[in-house]
Structures are given as C-alpha cells and as structure tokens.
Amino acid sequence: MDDTKQTPPKYPQVAGALEIDPWLTPYASVLADRRASAQNWLDTFQENEGGILKFADSYKTYGLQAHPDKSITYKEWAPNAKSASLVGEFNKWDPDSHVMTKDPYGNFLITILPNSSNEYAIPHDSLVKIRLNLPNGSTVYRLPAWITRATQAPATETIDCNVYQARFWNPPQPYQFKHKRPQAHKDLRIYECHVGISTPDPKIGSYQEFTKNVLPLIRDLGYNAIQLMAIMEHAYYASFGYQITNFFAVSSRYGTPEDLKELIDVAHSYGIVVFLDVVHSHASKNTADGLNAFDGSEYQYFHGDGKGNHSLWDSKLFNYGKYEVLRFLLSNIKFYLDVYKFDGFRFDGVTSMLYLHHGIGAGGAFSGDYNEYLGSKSCIDTEALTYLMLANELIHSAGKAEDRNFVSIAEDVSGYPTLCLPAADGGVDFDYRLSMAIPDMWIKMLKEQKDDDWDMGKITHTLTNRRYKEKCIAYCESHDQALVGDKTLAFWLMDAEMYTNMSVLSPLTPVIDRGLALHKMIRLITHALGGEAYLNFEGNEFGHPEWLDFPRVGNGESFKYARRQFNLIKDDLLRYKYLWRFDAAMQKLEEKFKWLASDSWTYVSLKHEGDKVIVFERNGLLFIFNFHPAESYADYRVGVEASGTYKIILNSDRAEEFGGHDRIDEEKSKFFTTDLPWNERKNHIQVYIPSRTVLVLALENDPRL
C-alpha cells in the first residue's frame, strides 16, 4: 500500500497560476504577497462595512441623496476643512443657512427637511456647491465630489464657459428600465464608440441620436457589445474623456442621465451588453470643478508632492492606499453597475497604474522578462495593483449576486503575467486584456514595408502570442489609431485616393483595389486568429475617410473631424458599402461558428513566406489567406484535420457584395479531402485561391450551417 502523501503547495493561493505557468515558480512568494494585500483589504471591508459590496454601496449615502419622505441628506469627506456649508440656488447661496456638521472621520453631514409645501427643499436640476473653510482662514467653493450631474457654465465676464457647475439631479419621473440585462457573451464582438462624434454632422451628438441612429446599425452589423468612451464627465471635450472632473456624473454635453439609461436599456433589448470606459488611472487637475485640492490639501484623494502628478498626461494620480479613496473609486464602479446598468468596464491606463514609472521612458520598454514584473527592481505600484484586484473582486462579486457575468477589460501594454487569471488562481482577475501589439504591427507594416516583404511568420506570431489561459481582445485599430496624429488602416492604405476614387462610377484604381482587399483581410485574420474577443472602433468597419480630431485651439475649435460619416454606407454609389458588408459578414459568421469562444481550438498549418499564404483551422473552420499582391494559385494544397467535403462560406473576392473580382465560381466549388497528410494535418484539399483574397471553408455537413 502506497501511503506517501503529496506535499501541499507552499503558496496555495497562487498554485493555479504556477500550474498554468511553471516559469512563475521562482516568484511564487511575490504573487502570494500581492494577493494577500488584496485579501487584507477584503477582510477589513468585511469587518468594518459588512463586505466589499456593502462598502461599494457608499454611493447611496455619500453625496446628495433624495429620500421618499422628501428630505435630502448630504455627506462629503473633506478632512482638511475646518467647517462647511451647502449653498446653492435653493438658499440664494447663503453660507450661513445650511451649515454642516463634521464627524470624527472627516465627513461633513447635513439633512435638509422638506419645505413648507412638503416638497424637496432643493429643486431638481438646481445649482449647488459646498463651501469649505480651510485651516489657513481661506474659503473655497467646490462641486460635491459625488455629484451625479454637472453642466457647462454659461460664459460671462466672470465665469469661464469651460468650468462645470454641479446640479442636484432628482427628476420627478426617473427613467424606468424596461428590458432585462442580457448575459455577456463568451464570444465578445465589441463596438467601441463615442456618443459625441456619432453623427455625420459637425456637432456634438446626443444620447438620443445615438440610440435612434447608431444602435440599430451596431445591431445589424452583428456586434454583441458596445464600449462607450468619454462618458464620465470631463470639462475638456478634446481630452476624449481622459481628464475626468466629476466621476459620478455622466457627460451632460450629450444629454441627461435619463437619456443614457434609455440608450443602455435599448441596447439590452437588442441583446447587446454595454461596457464603460472607466478612467481610474488619473484625474483632471482642475480645482474649480474637479477633485484636485478639494479640501485645500493636495493629498486628500491624490498622492502629495511629485508622486501625485503624471508628467505626461498633466493630471493627478490617486492614492490607492487610502481607505476613503478606495471607497470613492469602488463605489464609483458599483454606481455604474447599479444605476446605469452597465455590464462591465474597460479600465483605461492600466500600465500607468501598475508601475511607478507609469510606462514612461526607459521604464516603459518591456521585454517580457519576468523580473520586470515580479523581481526586486520591478517598480510595481503595489497599492495600485491591489486596487485593481479589489475592483475586479467587486465586479465579479456583484455579477454573482445578480447571476450575471459582468466583464472587466485591462488596457495594458506591458504584458504583466497573471493579469487575466482568476483570483482563485492567484491572478489580478481581469477577464480580458487588449492585444495592443496587434494594431502596432499592422501600422508598422503598412508604413514601412511593401506587400512583397510582409512576413507571414511575424503576422501569425503576433496574432497568436498571448499568455496561456489569459484571454485577449484582438483589434486592428481602436480609437488610438483613429485620433489625429495617427492614421487608420483605411488611411494608410488609401488616403491618396479616398476622396477621389471611392465612387463606383470611377475606375477601380490599383490603390483602391489594394486597399479594399487588404482592409478586409487584415480585419478577418485579426478577428479569427488574434484573441478570444474582437474590437472595432466606430467607422473603421467601413474605412472611414477621416481621422478623429476634437475641436480645440489648434484647429480653430472645428468639429469637421469630430464626427463619423455613417451616411457614406448608405450611398450605393460609394465603395464604403463593400467594407461595411464584409464587416457584417464577419460578425455574423462568428456568431454562428463561435471561434472566439475561449474553449475553441486553433491550429496554424501554413505560413508560407514565398507564396504569402497563411492557413489555419479554428473551431472547425478552415481559413485560407493569400496576401500575395499578384499571384493566384490553382489547386493549392491545404492541410486539414477532418475529412469530408468542404464548401466556401465566406469569400472576400465576391464582387457585388464585397467589391472583389468574382474570380471564384462558388456554386461549382466543392473540395473533397484526400487521405494524405499535409502540413501535419491528416488530410488535404486543393483550392483555387486568388491573390489578396481570404476564403473561409466549412464541412458541408457541419450542423452549424
């Protein structure tokens, strides 16, 4: 009888991570310590507040709260202030009429009883501020930190119109959600968008316009998730929403909070989940309408001295080690889940958060050496890392409480190991990370190389180079590539002729022909090989002919490029429709065959440098890409694992549908396997594959057809 006992792992809390990646073993204690830091906070929240979910419910007690008995309470954390009062239109800005009391924890509180008509004493949508008296004898006025509505001030001789004002949002008929939240899909196809630019007109678009005009387009394309950018209130429009002033207020420039709720509700009715681009990596340095120096100190929400300033972004950096800062940020996440019914978050600037050097300069040149992340000189900001673990714990715990799979996405370029492993395995617990190397690869190739020099091995390596068991979101271009100063794929391919030769009435030039063909191929190979989810920035699906540039001093405050010309896809005389239709075909094909599902399998059988051909199988489909600019191949031998008869289910060379050349007669194209191994697959078929064309094949008897 074998009575030997298996030795339990020394660090059981990270055993899963070590099993997945044994190269992490020398750093087991580091990983365990980092998880322990998060657990210590969770234990503290449990002891003090009844758990992280209740802790994050603080948005229900802090800030201005309207109660059924028509009373209003206001609670604000401002420990440095000596005294405070609530002022506004409701009391004619009288600093003596509503003086607040201060508790031992630095919170100021007040209850405002109903008025003589037994109505709320502060009218809905009226202006309010908190007046703080500081230890040095000075007085400052601030927008309540937890305010849920902030609007642009009217320009006067004494008020800058770029300064925002706080309003007490308490509508008599708040929006009632009508539709149940859908579950987040295991094969996410994400449409990244910005409400303000989502109109062909040179203006700021509204939530209502987006709901009416853009959501149906997203649904028709076949995307099952949208990622809303620039929603949290930011005083400077041209910051693309990355200089947040009011974290609990949604941007008023697009409409009201009730309008946004309706947008999300309608998206849910289409089966589309909605993610918020959450910016907790930094904050605006504004004092008049932001958090900076809120209570007169520089260290209330942020680090003091130089550590509290981001030199590149000219913004403030949170002190994630403070109890009340964690309350504010974690409650901010719960607020958007509960009040607006968002289904998840894309965390901006995770690389900046993770490292004390913020990914700037030499410190941001990541080689992949584990010492950069886990060694003694790794420069990890452990407090920020702990916050990210807590945020993910909150998101997933809130999901479990509602039987929902709320999603978290990390924007990280560093490749931090375990970022997307579950907490139970010792990971940071993000669901996905953005594969930021993929768009960089495409842009670099289009900028620096001729088609003949494209490296098939490099393409496949970049698309498949991701950590085992850590899910990635593949994309060719996001908002980063659309912004002025860069170029979208369509612009790199066709900018010389996009304004002159995109009409079907003009001859198909070599530039436009190449651009259309490669734009389709680049998107599909990224979609099918690059990750476990796919993302597209609005307009790029049809090759939008302009970059994105917000109104600012440098362009004369012009809205000319702060828009998306969806009208182009509706013009049957323009070739943009071909790119649009191909995008819809991609999304709907994935919806049917689920190649993005994390349990799908992939095998790359060919990456031929001379022929410029890439062949791979994923989840039962056969993908054949011929990137050669001139050579078409007849009877090209392609290895395939499963035997049977294959048929074409997607062909980028279709003329009427996708703007190709119709070089394949699909009705006569059936491919019978030969029982002869090829490229390490059990069988092979022989296929005609035209130049600059992608074919997707499926078994004729596939039940998913």
Give 170-213 pLDDT, tens digit per residue.
999 999 999 999 999 999 999 999 999 999 999 999 999 999 99
Model confidence band, residue 362 (pLDDT cutoffs 50, 70, 90): low
What is the rounded average pLDDT of the residues 451-459? 97
Which pLDDT tens digit goes with each residue over 289-323? 999 999 999 999 999 988 999 999 999 999 999 99
Q: What is the CATH number of the domain that holds 663?
A: 2.60.40.1180
What is the rounded average pLDDT of the residues 532-552? 93
Domain count, the chain: 4
pLDDT of residue 7: 64
| Containing structural domain, residue 645 | 602-699
Residue 165 burial (CB count, 10 A):
20
d(CA 63, CA 77): 9
Shared-domain flag, residues 588 and 460: yes
DSSP-assigned letters across all residues of 598-634 = TT--EEEEEEETTTTEEEEEETTEEEEEE--SS--EE
270 inside domain: yes
pLDDT of residue 305: 87
d(CA 392, CA 15): 20
Tell me which of 544, 574, 600 is where a domain ends. Answer: 600
pLDDT of residue 2 exceeding 90, the answer is no
Shared-domain flag, residues 159 and 260: no
Model confidence band, residue 437 (pLDDT cutoffs 50, 70, 90): very high
What is the rounded average pLDDT of the residues 674-695? 97
Which amino acid type is present at position 510?
Answer: P
43 inside domain: yes
Whether residue 160 contacts residue 150, with contact meaning beta carbons closer than 8 Å, is answered with no
Residue whose pair of structure tokens reads 């010309």 in the numeric block: 565
Model confidence band, residue 1 (pLDDT cutoffs 50, 70, 90): very low
Whether residue 590 contacts residue 534, with contact meaning beta carbons closer than 8 Å, is answered with yes
Global pTM value: 0.96
Shared-domain flag, residues 47 and 156: no
Note the Cα 182 to chain centre separation in Å.
Answer: 18
Q: Rounded to 5 degrees, what are φ and ψ at 170?
A: -150, 65
Query: Which residues have a catalytic role annotated?
Result: 348, 411
The 8 Å CB, 24+ separation contacts for 478-482 are 478/192, 478/434, 478/439, 478/535, 478/537, 479/192, 479/194, 479/229, 479/240, 479/537, 479/548, 480/439, 481/439, 481/443, 481/537, 481/540, 482/537, 482/539, 482/540, 482/544, 482/547, 482/548
Considering only CA atoms, which of 160, 148, 157 is closest in space to residue 124? 148
As a whole-number percent, the residues of the chain with pLDDT over 90 amount to 90
Give Cα separations from 230 to 124, 201, 448 (angstroms). 25, 19, 33
pLDDT of residue 160: 59
253 inside domain: yes
29 inside domain: yes
Shared-domain flag, residues 23 and 80: no
CA dihedral angle for residue 635, residue 513, residue 524, residue 688, rounded to 10 degrees: -10
Considering only CA atoms, which of 411, 395, 301, 409 is closest in space to residue 352? 411
Whether residue 501 contacts residue 511, with contact meaning beta carbons closer than 8 Å, is answered with yes
Which pLDDT tens digit goes with each residue over 10-25? 899 999 999 999 999 9
Give the pair of three-digit tokens for residue 462: 């970049």
pLDDT of residue 105 exceeding 50, the answer is yes
Model confidence band, residue 662 (pLDDT cutoffs 50, 70, 90): very high
Give the pair of three-digit tokens for residue 447: 């900028």
Shared-domain flag, residues 568 and 626: no
pLDDT of residue 547: 83
Contacts with 61 (C-beta within 8 Å, 6 or more apart), sequence order = 73, 75
d(CA 168, CA 129): 10
Work out the burial of residue 2: count CB atoms within 10 Å of its CB; fewer than 13 is exposed, 13-18 middle, 19 or more buried: exposed
Shared-domain flag, residues 196 and 219: yes
Which amino acid type is present at position 606?
Answer: L
Tell me which of 573, 600, 627 is where a domain ends. Answer: 600
Q: Where is average pLDDT lowest: 114-123, 366-375, 649-658?
A: 366-375
Whole-number average pLDDT of the chain = 95
d(CA 176, CA 621): 43
547 inside domain: yes
Shared-domain flag, residues 64 and 190: no
Shared-domain flag, residues 533 and 442: yes
Whether residue 393 contacts residue 415, with contact meaning beta carbons closer than 8 Å, is answered with no
Shared-domain flag, residues 529 and 618: no
pLDDT of residue 5: 59
What is the rounded average pLDDT of the residues 472-477? 96
Shared-domain flag, residues 528 and 643: no
- Assign residue 359 a region (left: φ > 0; alpha: ψ between -120 and 50; beta: otherwise): left
579 inside domain: yes
Residue whose pair of structure tokens reads 């007690």 in the numeric block: 61
Shared-domain flag, residues 133 and 196: no
Tell me which of 133, 168, 203 is where a domain ends. Answer: 168
Shared-domain flag, residues 48 and 70: no
495 inside domain: yes
Q: Rounded to 5 degrees, what are φ and ψ at 42?
A: -60, -40
Give the pair of three-digit tokens for residue 130: 């908190």
The DSSP H or E segment spanning 261 is helix 257-269
Considering only CA atoms, which of 411, 537, 548 is closest in space to residue 476? 537
d(CA 147, CA 490): 41
Q: Is the dihedral of CA 197, 199, 203, 206 positive or negative?
A: negative
Helix and strand totals (H; E) in the chain: 17, 29
594 inside domain: yes
Q: Three-state secondary structure along 124-151? A: CCEEEEEEEECCCCCEEEECCCCCCCEE
